[in-house]
Amino acid sequence: MAFFIGRDRESRRAYGFNEVALVPGDVTMNPDEVDISWKLGKLKFEIPFLAAAMDGVVDTKFAVKMGRLGGLAVLNLDGIQARYDNPKEVLLKVASAPKGKATQMVQEFYKKPIKMKLIAKRIREMKKHNIRTAVSTIPQNALKYGKIAQDAGCDIFVIQSTVTTVKHISTKYDALDFRKFCSSMKIPVIIGNCVTYKAALDLMEAGAAGLLVGVGPGAACTTRGVLGIGVPQVTATVDCAAARDYYYKKSKKYVSIITDGGMDTGGDICKAFASGADAVMIGSAFAKSKEAPGKGYHWGMATPHWNLPRGTRIYVGTSGTLEELLYGPATTDDGTQNLVGALRTSMGSVGARDIKQMQLTELIIAPAIKSEGKIFQKAQRIGMGK
Amino acid sequence: MAFFIGRDRESRRAYGFNEVALVPGDVTMNPDEVDISWKLGKLKFEIPFLAAAMDGVVDTKFAVKMGRLGGLAVLNLDGIQARYDNPKEVLLKVASAPKGKATQMVQEFYKKPIKMKLIAKRIREMKKHNIRTAVSTIPQNALKYGKIAQDAGCDIFVIQSTVTTVKHISTKYDALDFRKFCSSMKIPVIIGNCVTYKAALDLMEAGAAGLLVGVGPGAACTTRGVLGIGVPQVTATVDCAAARDYYYKKSKKYVSIITDGGMDTGGDICKAFASGADAVMIGSAFAKSKEAPGKGYHWGMATPHWNLPRGTRIYVGTSGTLEELLYGPATTDDGTQNLVGALRTSMGSVGARDIKQMQLTELIIAPAIKSEGKIFQKAQRIGMGK
Amino acid sequence: MAFFIGRDRESRRAYGFNEVALVPGDVTMNPDEVDISWKLGKLKFEIPFLAAAMDGVVDTKFAVKMGRLGGLAVLNLDGIQARYDNPKEVLLKVASAPKGKATQMVQEFYKKPIKMKLIAKRIREMKKHNIRTAVSTIPQNALKYGKIAQDAGCDIFVIQSTVTTVKHISTKYDALDFRKFCSSMKIPVIIGNCVTYKAALDLMEAGAAGLLVGVGPGAACTTRGVLGIGVPQVTATVDCAAARDYYYKKSKKYVSIITDGGMDTGGDICKAFASGADAVMIGSAFAKSKEAPGKGYHWGMATPHWNLPRGTRIYVGTSGTLEELLYGPATTDDGTQNLVGALRTSMGSVGARDIKQMQLTELIIAPAIKSEGKIFQKAQRIGMGK
Amino acid sequence: MAFFIGRDRESRRAYGFNEVALVPGDVTMNPDEVDISWKLGKLKFEIPFLAAAMDGVVDTKFAVKMGRLGGLAVLNLDGIQARYDNPKEVLLKVASAPKGKATQMVQEFYKKPIKMKLIAKRIREMKKHNIRTAVSTIPQNALKYGKIAQDAGCDIFVIQSTVTTVKHISTKYDALDFRKFCSSMKIPVIIGNCVTYKAALDLMEAGAAGLLVGVGPGAACTTRGVLGIGVPQVTATVDCAAARDYYYKKSKKYVSIITDGGMDTGGDICKAFASGADAVMIGSAFAKSKEAPGKGYHWGMATPHWNLPRGTRIYVGTSGTLEELLYGPATTDDGTQNLVGALRTSMGSVGARDIKQMQLTELIIAPAIKSEGKIFQKAQRIGMGK
């Protein structure tokens, strides 16, 4: 259905997590028997969860824990970890900065130059624990860091910026040639972020093994407010998954779609898979783990931008170990714990045997905001200080 | 009308109570003369209200009162009542638990094993007062408890889980054969919960006498947040009622549709009937009665889940006797008291002579949220502590 | 466009004031030169404003003031005015009742029987000031009071209940025969409330001179919460105005459409006319006048219902004289003062020369809720106690 | 797609900034290389930003700064600047007025008559700094001030009222003949405000060099609440831009579309260009600059209306110099600083080489309100005083 936002100007309606819901199946399954594994190229993972390359979420210790639990954490090469020999104390300063000063302090800390030797060192710190490792950088630094990472034993290389396209126009600098870069690397390359069918298809044809989907939806991200840009994640994931399916049909190469950002609860995560995701990348929810280096705080990769920060330091608190967040038992009922259990139970309830079936389950449009009464009940509880 | 949530992905729009409203009729009726009785199989009830099988709502005393007032209360066999000889003191502990600890405490109390002899005892406690009795359990326990309950004189057996389907796949355990179970029982079996046409039809064909409709809408339920699953009650009821009508045409057997959950006020209840319900099952609203064992608190059946709780202890307070809640006089004007009177008045205003006519009355789509001004007026009153 | 709220169940979308907006005209007019007069039968009024028959809004003194300012106030015959010799002190008690007790106190005061001689007395009190007078009662009392009011010199008789239809079914009492009643009266009869094309047409054919349009939209009314019934005022007014136009074509008799309730600001009032109203009936906004007997409080006519109250005592405060509310100057900018000036200016801006042209001006669908930012700005101001 | 708001009454859906979002391009660009210049007739400006003719935003000093930074500030001829020899102290009084008294005080200050000699003086004060100057007045004063302004060296003349149309009907006064006025002026004339295709086309044919688009959307404007009139800015801009394109095709004269009001953040500004704007006029955002004479307060031009004020004094605070607001570096991440940088980055991300390409970029419909959870998180932060 087409809508018009004005004279002769047609527009699509895009949907976010809070606007849709899953429909129970006519057949259900034992949650313990659903298969939630996924593959990136030839690498198979037990659980389809990635931890976002954010300094408040992933350090080497966190990555080791995540790897052991069956998932994958991505270490940010453009942040604190590769700038400071002792990142811990810097992270502590950010966490304890007063509210109004946080963005400026983050900007300040990120001015210190990257040390190339720290890149290899961090990867080896993780690799010696026999886990799969992944590191992330922006397109401008990919050529510089890619080889170093690969030689240090890294398993997956991630290139990520707010909006990434195969074709980037500039007369002042050379844009990264993704096709050349991917074919030069021996390890799989994940590229992001994108949200449209065409951009996704271009990146697949350039050789990406996986795509990060999401522009502007994350809790620590203010891209939509600052730039006006943002495609809600349900529509973005559906569109990029359609590109994946088309590309697979044509080339027989399966490029994984990783929904990145905007998922607050297990419910949102389940909806991402139902929209077509092969895996999800999580920031805020993992920042709440005891293992997260941000000590209950986290911030996006565009936060330190010196001239136009687009992200904010967010306080999420600490609510349990990473293992509890992933596998339970949940001690709260708000959908932020036992994410693996939630995914399994949801798949059982809709009757999806594996992620591929989950991608095809029915989604209905059903706004989350319930009765007026309930909203004010909540407001009242808040207003009364509890 | 079809909507697209992304490339080649069509989706239905589903509606909840707060999005619709009843339209006054062109003919009106004297409210005292409308007929609100309903039938479950051959059992006729004066009023179409069931009390939900929640431990904070129904104990044996409550059930007796409800039966005398013309309705039906369902006793939960998987909770406190069949685990403790003296459930009262356990319920008191839950009610007085500090806010942050409630879910964990509930989880703890529900670890104590069920005592089979308590099941028969509770039913007999109710039955000796000459009322209709109903008990509820999950599918896994139906075979175990069904015979006991029937032999103890129970009138109706309820099988209930978050999502119930005739076909459940597992290689680890045997799923309940609903068809076999229903035909083995001499008393009518109500099964729930379901929300779709197909699942409802399957359960009808398996022999259900009534269906509970509702997944994820209740105030004490967080299924949608945790699992992403939830179909708003207007659409769920319309769809399951359509299955009922189709099945009746085909088989001449009338299976009652009982909308379960998500109704906060008399207005919501009226809308459930206008969506096609034969009866409604109420939790929160009855938890407010003086007779409710939760003393102003209640919690869902998925709250005690040891690994993935999906429900929360909610404080609703105590606002009147069950008789006042059902028959008035109302001392407040917010639609939470005199629910029978509200249903009668509403039916009179739309000109519905009985529940079957009420099921056909016009519903319009009309979002409840009124002017911005009013929202902030309300917020202001809250903010000012009044 | 048709929507489906479930399988085979079609539904209309209805709209309220906050969902629409007026569009500026391609031609504009000098506001001082637009004609805002209207007629009820042969009675012409300078301004299209009626004051609602609510005890907190209209007493005889208020009615006199309103009449002198060009409008029409309706006195409630079923309330305090005809039950008490000295209504002032009763009203004062309601105004000073503690919040939780107000509904009950109102219920109590309305138990005192009506004194027939007070009806004539109140009308004469108004009539001696040479203004047009109107009184209101419920259908059950119309036969009893109609003749008395007419004989006392009343100009207009109003029959009003939550939902009024020509055909009302009861075996226990005789419903009012509107056709007979209207033809027996020598003064014009306004009937309400209705919201649908068919019900409006029926009432017109029964002889109504004007119709009150609105079920469930007023600030002091909780009909939608209690009964689930409510049609947003834009759609209700458009539909009843369509009935008026059809009936006029057929019979050459013009029956005035008076939108009643739900208008908080001048903007809402302007939208009522743009939806097809000939006049508006105002409650809350006039309760704020210094002349209102409720001293800043008011309550609906269904509030005193002994068994199912559907209305609440609302505090609106006192913000100016009735003359200021109608003609300005406004000392605030929130659209609650200088309502006549607002209507004139709005008509000038859309280029409507008179009410008939205003009824045809363009309305767009444009939800009032603006940017997320603004909502929270407002919430913040509230939260900060300012 | 057409909607019906009632029987036989069709209505368009109009969209505002918060309901749409930009979609990243398939090609991206280096933000430093996008061209954001624009032209008004033959005058070229480096940046497409105008400061609104509001007394709290623009005085002569502010205008000089704005001109030097590449933009254009418009001085209000109907306000404080042309009424008082020393406007500074009057502005200070408004800023320090207690909240409840502000509107009345503003009404009072604007009663002092305009001094004609101050008009020329103010223009010369600005002109001697070698910047482009613009002044604004209402249609009634255009003939009186136009010549004076032009002779004083003014570069651009602005005629502005809430709703301006070529045809205005009055028998009491002579409406301004725009066609005659424009052809009599040697400098370009900007006229506003309008929001519809037809009104825009009429004003173009009358000789406008630019049009101000926006009725009722600004933060300091309460037109929609008071008069019911208001067209959301996305639809208004799309429609007026369509008129511009049609008029250019026909006449080869390019009339600039300047979106005026309702833009809170860089994101909103980017969406205005994507809707078809050639430039934007900003009030609130510039009132936050250190150079703004309102000292953190501002108010609309309809605020001083003696009888029907439609605007309010708003406190926005002071957050940086005008240069920082325009060019950064931003010290916050909420999209209110470095507006030029935001526009450039946004254009780079959607792959727009210049404003004309930006006008054609894809907009999707995507409501800003995210998950229920997030709203209450925010509310909670507010409630907790943080």
Domains in chain D (CATH in brackets) are 15-383 (3.20.20.70)
Pick the closest to residue A141 from A172, A85, A181, A102 (CA basis): A181
Q: For B199-215, write each residue's pLDDT tens digit.
A: 999 999 999 999 999 99
Compute the average pLDDT of residues A178-188: 98
- Closest Cα in chain D, distance from residue A128 (Å): 39
Which chain C residues touch D265 with a CB distance below 8 Å? Answer: 373
> How far apart, in whole angstroms, are the C-alpha atoms of residue A316 and residue B52?
36
Q: Given an 8 Å threshold on Cβ–Cβ distance, is B338 in contact with C308?
A: yes
Q: Given an 8 Å threshold on Cβ–Cβ distance, is A5 in contact with D23?
A: no
Residue A219 scores a pLDDT above 60: no
Which of the four pLDDT bands, split at 50, 70 and 90, describes residue A384?
very low
Single-letter amino acid, residue A340: V
Return the H-helix or E-strand segment holding A79: none
pLDDT at A373: 36
pLDDT at D311: 67
Of C2, C104, C382, the CB nearest to B331: C104
Per cent of chain D over pLDDT 70 is 92
Of C21, C23, C333, the CB nearest to D303: C333
Compute the average pLDDT of residues C292-315: 79
Q: For C27-61, write each residue's pLDDT tens digit.
A: 999 999 999 999 999 999 999 999 999 999 999 99
Q: Given an 8 Å threshold on Cβ–Cβ distance, is C24 in contact with D194?
A: yes
Out of A375-379, B334-338, B381-385, D138-142, pick the least confident.
B381-385
Most confident of B93-97, B249-253, C304-308: B249-253
Q: For A293-329, write each residue's pLDDT tens digit.
A: 999 988 877 766 767 776 678 888 998 999 999 998 8
> How far apart, in whole angstroms, are the C-alpha atoms of residue A203 and residue C152?
86
Query: What is the DSSP code (8-state) at residue D19?
Result: G
Which chain B residues touch C368 with a CB distance below 8 Å? Answer: 371-372
pLDDT at C218: 61
Q: For A30-83, write each residue's pLDDT tens digit.
A: 999 999 999 999 999 999 999 999 999 999 999 999 999 999 999 999 999 999
- Closest Cα in chain C, distance from residue B265 (Å): 6
pLDDT at D248: 98
Higher pLDDT among residues D15 and A99, named by residue = D15
Q: Given an 8 Å threshold on Cβ–Cβ distance, is D7 in contact with C341?
A: no
Residue C380 scores a pLDDT above 70: no
Q: Which chains have 3+ CB pairs within 8 A of D?
A: A, C
Q: Given an 8 Å threshold on Cβ–Cβ distance, is D331 in contact with A103?
A: yes
Of C13, C24, C367, the CB nearest to D199: C24
Which chain B residues touch A239 with a CB distance below 8 Å? Answer: 6-7
Active-site amino acid positions of A: 221, 313
Pairing between β-strand B167-169 and β-strand B156-160 as defined by DSSP bridges: unpaired
Q: For B115-165, write each residue's pLDDT tens digit.
A: 999 999 999 999 999 999 999 999 999 999 999 999 999 999 999 999 999
Pick the closest to residue C74 from C122, C30, C28 (CA basis): C122
In the annotation, is C83 catalytic?
no
pLDDT at D219: 57
In sequence order, the 6+-apart residues with CB closer than 8 A to the CB of A356 are none
Tell me which of B1, B4, B5, B160 to substitute to probe the interface with A (most A C-beta atoms closer than 10 Å): B5
Q: For D54-77, write each residue's pLDDT tens digit.
A: 999 999 999 999 999 999 999 999
The 3-state secondary structure of chain D, one letter per residue: CCEEEECCEEECECCCHHHEEECCCCEEECHHHCECCEEECCEEECCCEEECCCCCCCCHHHHHHHHHCCCEEEEECCCHHHCCCCHHHHHHHHHCCCHHHHHHHHHHHCCCCCCHHHHHHHHHHHHCCCCCCEEEECHHHHHHHHHHHHHCCCCEEEEECCCCCCEEECCCCCCCCHHHHHHHCCCCEEEEEECCHHHHHHHHHCCCCEEEECCCCCCCECHHHHHCECCCHHHHHHHHHHHHHHHHHHHCCCCEEEEECCCCCHHHHHHHHHCCCCEEEECHHHHCECCCCCCCEECCCCCCCCCCCCECCEECCCCECHHHHHHCCCCCCCCCCCHHHHHHHHHHHHCCCEHHHHCCCCEEECCCCCCHHHHHHHHHHHHCCC
Contact C14, C235 (CB under 8 A): yes
Q: Given an 8 Å threshold on Cβ–Cβ distance, is B365 in contact with C215?
A: no
Residue B373 scores a pLDDT above 90: no
- Closest Cα in chain B, distance from residue A327 (Å): 8
Contact D75, D53 (CB under 8 A): yes
Q: For C239-255, write each residue's pLDDT tens digit.
A: 999 999 999 999 999 99
Active-site amino acid positions of D: 221, 313
Q: 3-class SS at C126?
A: helix
> How far apart, in whole angstroms, are the C-alpha atoms of residue B182 and residue B156?
11
In sequence order, the 6+-apart residues with CB closer than 8 A to the CB of D200 are D194, D211, D213, D239, D240, D243, D244, D257
Residue C376 scores a pLDDT above 70: no
Query: What is the DSSP code (8-state) at residue B229?
Result: B
Contact C190, C212 (CB under 8 A): yes
B80's tokens: 């406190």
Which chain D residues touch A17 with a CB distance below 8 Å? Answer: 371
CA distances from A222 to A225, A228, D233, D236 (A): 5, 9, 22, 26
> How far apart, in whole angstroms, are the C-alpha atoms of residue D53 and residue D190?
12
Q: Given an 8 Å threshold on Cβ–Cβ distance, is C265 in contact with D225?
A: yes
Q: Given an 8 Å threshold on Cβ–Cβ distance, is A303 in contact with D333?
A: yes
Which of the four pLDDT bands, split at 50, 70 and 90, describes residue A100?
confident
Residue A386 scores a pLDDT above 60: no
Residue B327 scores a pLDDT above 80: yes
Q: 3-class SS at D294?
A: coil
Q: Given an 8 Å threshold on Cβ–Cβ distance, is A167 in contact with D383?
A: no
- Closest Cα in chain D, distance from residue A332 (Å): 15
How high does pLDDT run on average in chain D? 90
Of D25, D30, D275, the CB nearest to A172: D30
pLDDT at A305: 72
> How far does Cα A15 stand from its chain's mean position?
18
Residue C64 scores a pLDDT above 70: yes
Compute the average pLDDT of residues D87-106: 87
pLDDT at C224: 85
Contact A265, A336 (CB under 8 A): yes
Q: For C107-159, write each residue's pLDDT tens digit.
A: 889 899 999 999 999 999 999 999 999 999 999 999 999 999 999 999 999 99
- Closest Cα in chain C, distance from residue D1 (Å): 8
Q: What chain D residue is nearest to C34 in terms of C-alpha separation? A: D170
Q: What chain D residue is nearest to A335 in terms of C-alpha separation? A: D373
Q: For B291-313, write each residue's pLDDT tens digit.
A: 999 999 888 777 667 677 766 78
Out of A260-274, B55-69, B206-220, C208-222, pick the least confident.
C208-222
Query: Looking at this predicted complex, what is its ipTM?
Result: 0.92
Q: What chain B residue is nearest to A15 in terms of C-alpha separation? A: B5
Compute the average pLDDT of residues D161-175: 94
pLDDT at B218: 61
Compute the average pLDDT of residues A129-151: 97
What is the maximum span of chain C, computed from C-alpha positions, in angstroms? 62
Residue C187 scores a pLDDT above 80: yes
- Closest Cα in chain A, distance from residue B159 (Å): 16
pLDDT at C386: 24
Residue D294 scores a pLDDT above 80: yes
Contact A242, A221 (CB under 8 A): no
Which chain C residues touch B345 with a CB distance below 8 Å? Answer: 226-227, 308
Tokens 């995507």 belong to which residue? D366
> How far apart, in whole angstroms, are the C-alpha atoms of residue D215 and residue D164?
10
How high does pLDDT run on average in chain A? 90
Which chain C residues touch D309 with a CB distance below 8 Å? Answer: 330, 332-333
Which of the four pLDDT bands, split at 50, 70 and 90, describes residue A218?
low
pLDDT at D218: 62
Which of the four pLDDT bands, split at 50, 70 and 90, describes residue D380?
very low
Active-site amino acid positions of B: 221, 313
Q: Given an 8 Å threshold on Cβ–Cβ distance, is A382 in contact with D386?
A: no
Tell me which of B264, B370, B377, B384 to substitute to probe the interface with C (most C C-beta atoms closer than 10 Å): B370
